[in-house]
Chains A and B, each alone.
Chain A
Amino acid sequence: MRSFTYTRPAEPAQPWTELGPDAMYIAGGTNLVDLMKCGVAAPGRLVDIGRLPLADIEVDAATDTLRIGALVPNSDLAAHPVVRERLPVLSRALLAGASPQLRNLATLGGNLMQRTRCGYFRDLAMPCNKRVPDSGCAALDGEHRGHAVLGTSSRCIATHPSDLAVALLALEARVSIDGPNGPRAEPIEAFHLPPGETPERETTLTHGELITAVEVPMTTLGAHSYYLKVRERASFAFAMCSAAVALEVREGTVRAARIALGGVATTPWRAYAAEAALIGGPPSTGAFARAGDAATEGAVPGRDNGHKVELIRRVVARALSTLAATDTPATDTPATDTPATGTPKSPGTGEAPRTGEAPGSTEGEHR
């Protein structure tokens, strides 16, 4: 690790005045310290913003908005009673990530800034356009079983690792930012940048800017939301595919829907086509399957990550059907065509209920 100087601004007003050209902010440190240890990040100066007064969770009753300070630890946010009741997707996404110790350290702002787990990004001996612009992308032809199929470019297919950001995207949260050029705010969807030609630029933050808070509207949708994550062990693993979903159903018809995906895209990914496939129709198994299909729109699988395309279908359909089945309050009229959740088969029958399509038959469709 490179030597660095460290400062912790005593006064909260303008931490960027402490920042030199070679400096970075640090808060929880769970991602930055990791990257410093493996040599990917090498700041000459760390400005510790960890004790700035940005750790409150406030409910703005007038606008029914939850304002979450950027330094709120993930664990506190997950456990907050208002979050649990009114924004369950947020709590579930947080608890599905990392470990209790990491959630105690990691902050909201840092989570939105966390960088990819792509092995080539972390391997200094290999080319990576995100780490060293224009050096090439080793993942394209390399090991990319876990890489993104959505939002990719010819220069980067690294997966965005956050669970929290996916939930916030589904909730249409806004990111509050402050910096040398004054405060600003933008939708989280605009905050994360797809790799395009410049995979090294991951967010709209410019040097000196920092996230101060995230504002989450506490809508009916938010209250009827769910987070589902497929990972390769029961805990403490990044998503292969995750979905944050929210549904508003009136009189047997989906009036509003939000679907965001994690683990399959280069940014937290909003699946508009999937939402569109639901709106105006009944919250039925068939509709959920169609939404799953639509969620794969634009997917570009590589040699070894085609499985993610089918997984998106199934994850979206499952998340929606689980939400519809377990979250009755928003659904004032039950769905009409088929039950949204299959009855589990008896053990040992060996007959697997299958949604989606036959294995292998979907490979080429979305290339």
Chain B
Amino acid sequence: MAALTKPKNLQDVAAPGRDGVGASPLRPDGILKVKGDFAYSSDLWHEDMLWGMALRSPHARARILSVDVSAALAQPGVYAVLTHEDIPGSKFYGLEIRDQPVLAIDEVRFHGEPIVIVAADHPETARRAIAKIVVEYDVLPSIGPVEALDPERYGYVHAPADYKAHAFGNIVHSQHIHHGDGDSAEVRALADVIVRGEYEVGMQDQAFLGPESGLAVPAEDGGIDLYIATQWLHVDRQQMCPVLGLPPEKVRLTLAGVGGAFGGREDISMQVHACLLAQHTGKPVKIVYNREESFFGHVHRHPATMVFEHGATRDGRLVFVKAEIVLDGGAYASTSPAVVGNAASLGIGPYVIPHAAVDATAVYTNNPPCGAMRGFGAVQMCFGYETQMDRLAAELGLDPVELRRMNAMEQGSVLPTGQVVDAPAPVAELLRRVKEMPLPEVENWRTADGPDVRELPGGLSNTTHGEGVVRGIGYAVGIKNVGFSEGFDDYSTARVRLEVIGGAPVALVHTAMAEVGQGGITVHAQIVRTELGVDQVTMAPADTRVGSAGSTSASRQTYMTGGAVKQAAEAVRAVVLARGRDRYGWAPAFAAGLRLAGGKALTAAGEVVADLVDLLGDEPVDETTEFRHRPTEAFDKVTGQGFGHVQYTFCAHRAVVDVDVELGLVKVIELAAAQDVGKAINPLAVVGQIHGGSTQGLGLAVMEEIIVRDGKVRNPSFTDYLIPTILDTPPMPVDVLELADAHAPYGLRGAGEAPTLSSTPAIVAAIRAATGLPLNRVPVRPEHLTGT
């Protein structure tokens, strides 16, 4: 390993500050990040390293007739050209279903699917070698989500013979939820008003700024060391080992700097390719995607078509809901089954509805594979059910917020899955809070010097000085689960070591948690300071030398790895205090009542009874523990009943927009959020998460969509796939509520995803209020507003 230039963030990083749980210390990696010293996976360098690259399919669906790599192999500087035939182990991988070929075998199923990988001494050499590979295709008509439902006529994305999913046809996974009497004729008769709507959500991309990249280094023991940007080191390894034909102990992963994730790094991308090339050449291999390849190289948010029917009494009580959801899963399963589970179980929103019939299905198509993205199945649904709530309110002549509050779930409510909500569920309160926040000034663009175009739709594009501008206000609220659900054994591992270094107690925290910018390591240092009463905390790089932390997804890491760090620190404390029993003869009950703070052991009354340094002596305490949340259970296949989710999280938004209704331009004036986080372990980070999620929801509302035509991605660039700039991002006041969930560490509630849900429908509701247009599809485009 000597030849690897090991950057500072792949070494132990000191976490500065004295702040514990509930404070907002600065990030331990912050200085490195502002100095440009923080090495992302794309910044790694190894002596003699090669560059890997993939040849990708230009077609959405085609049979591969032949692959000729001879010219590429003959090119000087090329060290390896590999096809599926060169894979030593299994040729498939996948998070839930191993249906995705590492390299295409006899058929390509999506635009951008990798077919051949090359390692060369320079990226340019690799690119030229790729250009010399000749692949003959028999191009087939691609199967979209509509065709997928009629395989007899249009065919199968995966031939039935090698079908790997658990359902049938082109269906990846389905989940039905039957609650009360569903949508039976009797139930329908109870409703005075029934509102039906069809909705569509376009394909959103995570668009993290740091493209997929990593460095695979062959080791002397025949194994591989991989430095990688990912969300979950251990599940990457779990998928790679069978492909590489190596046991887990020979595939060692270390987290390199991660330039954002948002779900897009939940699946593996270049990991296994780099390792195969390193294994084959015996040399270190680095792969870095460019932006276009990044758009092809990771899964996207599932596009959804949704049909909802809501029935209510005249006075606004919801009677039933029926929802039929089809999610475009793309060519391979990825996390489609879990996304379906979320869409079904969270599909009616945070409301108490006595009768519900929900069907969610993900289909295989020849579109790009879809999987995890922040909000995971709940985002699409929230656009649907919240639009329905507005429509129902209009139909009933009720205030839309009031209608929501009347039907809001609360602690003790029964969900359509039969699960009783056993923690605070302040849905009505969050709505009240966003509604009561002061509204931004009307016509805020008027100044003494005339209109300030910067405050108007179109902004500096000079489109309006107030002409055609109409304000609208919209509300939405959403529900998201936290952690892995449906019976998954969700756990995280943490190791905490406490020792005296230079006369002071120092704690080391070692987990495999992927810090992707969420601030997990900041929080871990806070937890250790709180639990062990030390100032100096050091963060070890995340790697597979310690047990799995699970994924940095599902809003789960503060709960899960935070919980694991807390548990490990508690174990360390117990050992330390036990030493006091030996050293000072403390009675067990006395020792158990002590706490550690400021480098001392104290009684509950605050009396110092020992110095931590003395308690520790020269013998470190080193504890590793696994933390689990309460077990969940799978949803019944027929009825969808079951304790499927361990925790729920809620966020409400109020969006205020100005719309230039003539030119179709929207300016979000303000996007206010209220969210319950149970306990804000780091309030600054919580607000950052809410800002981030809200802004990604804004992107989905008004600009973000991967355009796929006949299976082909048409806008794989940041010029053609637009994400919000700083000018598109409005002031975002945040009201954080802290109602503890007694089941969770410190009472906390996962925070990262919920704001992504309600932001989109709140903004679109505001645009509807301004324009009177139905707007059943996101993103809303200018032409949807100009009616042309």
Does the CB pair B707–A322 fall under 8 Å? no
User: A40 → chain B, closest Cβ, in Å?
Assistant: 13
B719 at the A/B interface (Cβ < 8 Å)? yes
Does the CB pair B467–A309 fall under 8 Å? no
Asked if A360 meets B469 with Cβ closer than 8 Å, knowing A96-B460, A232-B781, A352-B661, the reply is no
Does the CB pair A230–B461 fall under 8 Å? yes
Asked if A353 meets B661 with Cβ closer than 8 Å, knowing A347-B443, A348-B471, A362-B788, the reply is yes
A54 at the A/B interface (Cβ < 8 Å)? no
Does the CB pair A311–B783 fall under 8 Å? yes
State which residues 693-746 of B face A: CB under 8 Å.
Answer: 703, 707, 709, 714-715, 717, 719-720, 722, 724-725, 727-728
State which residues 140-154 of A face B: CB under 8 Å.
Answer: 142-143, 145
A103 at the A/B interface (Cβ < 8 Å)? no
Q: Which of A37, A92, A96, A350 contacts B772 (CB 8 A)?
A: A350
Does the CB pair A315–B663 fall under 8 Å? yes
Asked if A96 meets B786 with Cβ closer than 8 Å, knowing A311-B663, A347-B442, A350-B772, the reply is no
A131 at the A/B interface (Cβ < 8 Å)? no
A80 at the A/B interface (Cβ < 8 Å)? no
Give the chain A neighbours of B472 by CB distance below 8 A: 348, 350
A344-367 near B? 1/0 per residue, CB < 8 Å: 111111111111101110110000
Does the CB pair A341–B467 fall under 8 Å? yes
Does the CB pair A310–B788 fall under 8 Å? yes
Residue of A nearest to B127 (CB): A1
B466 at the A/B interface (Cβ < 8 Å)? yes
Give the CA-CA distance A240 to B450 in the complex, in Å: 27
Asked if A230 meets B782 with Cβ closer than 8 Å, knowing A96-B460, A235-B727, A342-B468, the reply is yes
Give the CA-CA distance A322 to B465 in the complex, in Å: 7
Give the CA-CA distance A345 to B469 in the complex, in Å: 7
Give the chain A neighbours of B771 by CB distance below 8 A: 352
Asked if A234 meets B667 with Cβ closer than 8 Å, knowing A307-B783, A344-B469, A352-B772, the reply is yes
Does the CB pair A230–B788 fall under 8 Å? no
User: A89 → chain B, closest Cβ, in Å?
Assistant: 10
Q: Which of A1, A96, A306, A356 contacts B461 (CB 8 A)?
A: A96
Interface of B is mostly: loop
B315 at the A/B interface (Cβ < 8 Å)? no
A279-293 near B? 1/0 per residue, CB < 8 Å: 000000000000000
Give the CA-CA distance A355 to B468 in the complex, in Å: 9
Does the CB pair B463–A347 fall under 8 Å? no
A276 at the A/B interface (Cβ < 8 Å)? no
Does the CB pair A318–B663 fall under 8 Å? yes
User: A95 → chain B, closest Cβ, in Å?
Assistant: 7
Q: How many A-B residue pairs have CB under 8 A?
A: 158
User: B129 → chain A, closest Cβ, in Å?
Assistant: 14
Does the CB pair A232–B703 fall under 8 Å? yes
User: A361 → chain B, closest Cβ, in Å?
Assistant: 9
A238 at the A/B interface (Cβ < 8 Å)? yes
State which residues 632-678 of B face A: CB under 8 Å.
Answer: 658, 661-665, 667
Give the CA-CA distance A359 to B709 in the complex, in Å: 26
B458 at the A/B interface (Cβ < 8 Å)? yes
Residue of B nearest to A313 (CB): B788
State which residues 546-562 of B face A: CB under 8 Å.
Answer: none
Asked if A234 meets B788 with Cβ closer than 8 Å, knowing A1-B124, A119-B714, A142-B714, the reply is no
B418 at the A/B interface (Cβ < 8 Å)? no
Which candidate, A9-17, A221-229, A248-256, is the interface stretch facing chain B? Answer: A221-229
Does the CB pair B707–A318 fall under 8 Å? no
Give the CA-CA distance A131 to B724 in the complex, in Å: 31
User: B760 → chain A, closest Cβ, in Å?
Assistant: 16
Interface of A is mostly: loop
User: B447 → chain A, closest Cβ, in Å?
Assistant: 14
Give the CA-CA distance A38 to B717 in the complex, in Å: 11
B184-207 near A? 1/0 per residue, CB < 8 Å: 000000000000000000000000
Among B450, B769, B783, B788, find the residue whose CB has the most chain A CB atoms closer than 10 A. Answer: B788
Give the CA-CA distance A311 to B458 in the complex, in Å: 14
Asked if A234 meets B458 with Cβ closer than 8 Å, knowing A318-B662, A344-B467, the reply is yes
User: B272 → chain A, closest Cβ, in Å?
Assistant: 25
Does the CB pair A117–B724 fall under 8 Å? no
B342 at the A/B interface (Cβ < 8 Å)? no
State which residues 314-344 of B face A: CB under 8 Å.
Answer: none
Among B58, B466, B720, B783, find the residue whose CB has the most chain A CB atoms closer than 10 A. Answer: B783
Give the chain A neighbours of B292 by CB distance below 8 A: 38
Does the CB pair B722–A235 fall under 8 Å? no
Does the CB pair A360–B788 fall under 8 Å? yes
A232-248 near B? 1/0 per residue, CB < 8 Å: 11111110100000000
B464 at the A/B interface (Cβ < 8 Å)? yes
Does the CB pair A92–B467 fall under 8 Å? no
Asked if A95 meets B783 with Cβ closer than 8 Å, knowing A233-B728, A359-B788, the reply is no
Give the chain A neighbours of B787 by CB distance below 8 A: 310, 358-360
Give the chain B neighbours of A344 by CB distance below 8 A: 443, 466-469
Does the CB pair B786–A119 fall under 8 Å? no
A205 at the A/B interface (Cβ < 8 Å)? no
**A92-B462, A322-B467, A352-B661 given; 20 more Cβ-contact pairs under 8 Å:** A143-B707, A226-B462, A232-B703, A232-B722, A234-B458, A234-B461, A234-B728, A235-B728, A237-B719, A306-B788, A309-B788, A314-B786, A322-B464, A346-B443, A348-B472, A348-B473, A349-B470, A350-B772, A351-B470, A354-B661
Interface residues of A (CB under 8 A from B): 1, 3, 37-38, 92, 95-96, 117, 119, 122, 125, 142-143, 145, 226-238, 240, 306-307, 309-311, 314-315, 318, 321-322, 325-326, 341-342, 344-356, 358-360, 362-363
Interface residues of B (CB under 8 A from A): 58, 124, 127, 290, 292, 442-443, 450, 458-473, 658, 661-665, 667, 703, 707, 709, 714-715, 717, 719-720, 722, 724-725, 727-728, 769-772, 781-783, 786-788
